[in-house]
Structure 1
Amino acid sequence: MMAAHLALEDHYGNSSDTQPLLVTPGFVDAHIHPDKTTWGSPWLSRRAAATLEDLISNDLRAQLAYQDSVEERAFALMRQAVLSGTMAMRAHVDVATQIGLRNIHGVRAAAERLAPYLDVQIVAFPQFGLLSNQGTLDLVEASLSEGADLVGGIDPASLDGDLHGHLDAVFALANKYGRDVDIHLHDSGPEGLAQVQLIAERTVAEGMQGRVTVGHGFALCDPSQPGLGAALDAMATAGMWLATCALGADPVPVLDLVEKHGVRVALGSDGVRDAWSPFGSGSMVDRTHLLGYRTGALTDAELERCFRIATADGAELLGSAAVAAFFGPGSADRVEFAAHSIPELVVDRPSPMRVVRAGKTVSL
């Protein structure tokens, strides 16, 4: 695999006065919300939240009060990601009657400013409800011709209150416009697993194998659930991906179990310095470290797997040629670190010495 390949030429020189050089592919942030960030803006004091609904309410209140534009805040965070070694990202961007399409336009404008350095996919994300927030479905459809690339969804049963109707709408738009699907699923336990099963069945029925992602998937992170194996098998049959974020106290998947069932995993930052959380750095090096820490990675192989999930696997999900085409130190797209090995990189999480795109050092 990629980590083994890198180990062949991961540093030059062994003397104590020679700095090691580790050359790696770029990182892929497979789940991030740049429209919500306060990066580069004044400090935001967060409100306490006991439920998902509280978090969403706090988020809307904060978004409506921000003084800096979506474009400027998103650009500040995305620029930081580029300088930290990220070369591709999937951005989940809010679409709702309360805010219209301004977030889509703002993030797309920021992405265009960074186009030479960063590949960006935008998911039209109905954070405040797809069907329950009247008018949002029409806006999601409109967004697909105004900057959005994928159709998003969120907790069809618990938040939107119409499991089958929600999925009908999401898959109808995906088929009509030839787009992939990425659905947030926070629901846990049997209810969450039942939704995963249904999404997998719909994916196969619609002929969309390999084109559907579940974000967070907390129900898939509890090995005590008797239905977990069947849900993972259904996902594997449908070629579905799981995007995890190793965020705070949120559940993380048991990687050995998920991979045993044939489900592919990608890694993302989720929210960075937004109303949901004061934490996050925009660095996928940091996030890879958190994935290793949260999943109890100890061996070199386990640490290298975290790196693979944050690079090669994410590149496969997003179709990022810049990351997937990495062939070693001479690659036109690469990141250079002062580290001896991939496991050391994951643990020490250094900042890059240099980020190179199309053969040129990135300078922003």
Structure 2
Amino acid sequence: MTGPALKISSRGEPPYGRGLMITPGFVDVHIHPDKTTWGSGWMSRVPAQTLTDIIGNDLRAQLAFQDSVEDRAYALMSHAVLNGTMAMRAHVDVGPQIGLRNMHGVRAAAERLAPFLQVQVVAFPQFGLLSNPGTLDLMEASLAEGADLVGGIDPESVDGDLHGHLDAVYALANKHGRDVDIHLHDVGADGLAQLSVIAERTVAEGMQGRVTIGHGFALCDASHPDLGSTLDAMAEAGIWMATCALGADPVPDLDLFEKHGVKVALGSDGVRDAWSPFGTGSMMDRAHLLGYRTGASTDAELERCFRLATSAGAELIGSAEVKNFSGPESVDRLEFAANSIPELVVDRSAPLRVVRGGRAVALQA
């Protein structure tokens, strides 16, 4: 195993004077640490036109990595800790092409960071659940070995079987007592129709409040006539939306989501992987990008972006350290040189200190 370890610093408390802002920690609700090249050499990306092309590029890149999953994941996750992330939901690929090695690697990295970082692992069928023979058995095995959530991906465009895909996902969730987190990249009427079925199925299974949709690009077209009814169905089912404010990908109308009662939280998605050369693992950066992409300008809009990266994420994944934040006396907190939350989001400020259990986190040589 390589990479620096983390430790608790013994430095004393700084004075709480003007210009020192104390905030809760960040929560990254959608990240793929098994795919990252963080801490490794540069990877040149191959152009891709379709989701199938991108997934194929991703698999080839993963099979060619020289550094272990654990080392790469640890490099990224420890960097996230030092930038204020206290909890994350990690989507980890499962499939016969790679077996369970990604889950084992991310779990090993998470164990090394256990004093500093809460990690939920999603068993994610990136290469297809039903359309990739052998994946369903490996999903079962990953859950038996401790994966925290059941993942899904584009039931129609990747698996070609909406109801069959959902049957498998919800059956696994019910059998193992797990929540569900489904990537949905499909857009337009087809994407909204899938979301409506997912909402209906969630209510039928009695899983209200236990399902998350990642990306949900179909929900980002405010002109679509069925958007309002789809959002209402999601709100009734208590389905969360995890958005990542990626590149040219669509972003949700946050006012509209609030109007319809759909909860939103923020994540990084891929960080310097085969999908994109961008990403830093910093949720402050991600809050800034969400504000920029959604045209945030008022203090309230910028504060909302920060909230989606902190307390909203903590509500989704159950991070007590972030949920229980109560101000400067909190033993788990971030300290910034700033005068306001909007200033933090615009400046993309790095924390002066990340405090866990009342003591500052620092790199150990």
Give the TM bin, normalised by the shorter chain: over 0.9
Q: Which residue of 1 aligns with 2:202?
A: 203
Q: Which residue of 2 aligns with 1:303?
A: 302
- Counterpart CA distance in 1 for 2:265 and 2:23 is 17
Q: 1:188·1:218 contact (CA, 8 Å) conserved in 2?
A: yes
- Counterpart CA distance in 1 for 2:336 and 2:144 is 39
**How do 1:62-77 residues align onto structure 2 when only pairs under 5 Å count?**
62-77=61-76
- Counterpart CA distance in 2 for 1:144 and 1:47 is 33
Q: Which residue of 1 aligns with 2:251?
A: 252
Q: Which residue of 1 aligns with 2:321?
A: 322
* SS of 2:150 mapped into structure 1: strand
Which runs of 5 or more structure 2 residues have no equivalent in the other structure? 1-14
Q: Which residue of 1 aligns with 2:40?
A: 41
* TM-score in terms of structure 2 length: 0.95
**How do 1:74-89 residues align onto structure 2 when only pairs under 5 Å count?**
74-89=73-88
Per-residue CA shift, 1:112-154, capped at 9, x if unaligned? 0000000000000000000000010110010012231100000
* SS of 1:116 mapped into structure 2: coil
Per-residue CA shift, 1:246-276, capped at 9, x if unaligned? 0100000000001100000010000000001
Per-residue CA shift, 1:153-198, capped at 9, x if unaligned? 0000111111000000000000001000000000000000000000
- Counterpart CA distance in 2 for 1:126 and 1:261 is 30
- Counterpart CA distance in 2 for 1:76 and 1:206 is 39
- Whichever residue aligns with residue 362 of structure 1, its letter is V
Q: Which residue of 1 aligns with 2:185?
A: 186
Q: Which residue of 2 aligns with 1:157?
A: 156
Q: Which residue of 2 aligns with 1:129?
A: 128
Q: 1:96·1:127 contact (CA, 8 Å) conserved in 2?
A: yes
* SS of 2:310 mapped into structure 1: helix
Per-residue CA shift, 1:40-79, capped at 9, x if unaligned? 0011011011111111000000000000000000000000
- Counterpart CA distance in 2 for 1:182 and 1:360 is 34
Q: 1:96·1:128 contact (CA, 8 Å) conserved in 2?
A: yes
**How do 1:284-303 residues align onto structure 2 when only pairs under 5 Å count?**
284-303=283-302
* SS of 1:147 mapped into structure 2: coil
Cα pair distance change 1:208/1:187, threshold 3 Å: same
Q: Which residue of 2 aligns with 1:265?
A: 264
- Whichever residue aligns with residue 26 of structure 1, its letter is G
* TM-score in terms of structure 1 length: 0.95
Q: 1:291·1:306 contact (CA, 8 Å) conserved in 2?
A: yes
What displacement does 1:360 show? 1.4
Q: Which residue of 2 aligns with 1:51?
A: 50
- Counterpart CA distance in 2 for 1:262 and 1:58 is 37
- Counterpart CA distance in 2 for 1:169 and 1:13 is 55
- Counterpart CA distance in 2 for 1:124 and 1:251 is 25
- Counterpart CA distance in 2 for 1:346 and 1:138 is 43
Which runs of 5 or more structure 1 residues have no equivalent in the other structure? 1-10, 15-19
Q: Which residue of 2 aligns with 1:175?
A: 174
* SS of 1:362 mapped into structure 2: strand
Per-residue CA shift, 1:21-42, capped at 9, x if unaligned? 0100000000000000000001
- Whichever residue aligns with residue 167 of structure 1, its letter is L
- Counterpart CA distance in 2 for 1:105 and 1:202 is 31
- Counterpart CA distance in 2 for 1:147 and 1:120 is 12
Q: 1:95·1:140 contact (CA, 8 Å) conserved in 2?
A: yes
- Whichever residue aligns with residue 288 of structure 1, its letter is A
| Alpha-carbon RMSD | 0.9
Q: 1:104·1:146 contact (CA, 8 Å) conserved in 2?
A: no
Q: Which residue of 2 aligns with 1:4?
A: none
What displacement does 1:13 show? 4.5
**How do 1:205-220 residues align onto structure 2 when only pairs under 5 Å count?**
205-220=204-219
Per-residue CA shift, 1:272-306, capped at 9, x if unaligned? 00001000001000000000000000000000011
- Whichever residue aligns with residue 252 of structure 1, its letter is V
Indicate whether 1:235 and 2:234 are aligned: yes
* SS of 1:336 mapped into structure 2: strand
**How do 1:99-114 residues align onto structure 2 when only pairs under 5 Å count?**
99-114=98-113
Percent identical residues: 79
* SS of 2:87 mapped into structure 1: strand
- Counterpart CA distance in 1 for 2:239 and 2:257 is 12
Q: Which residue of 2 aligns with 1:346?
A: 345
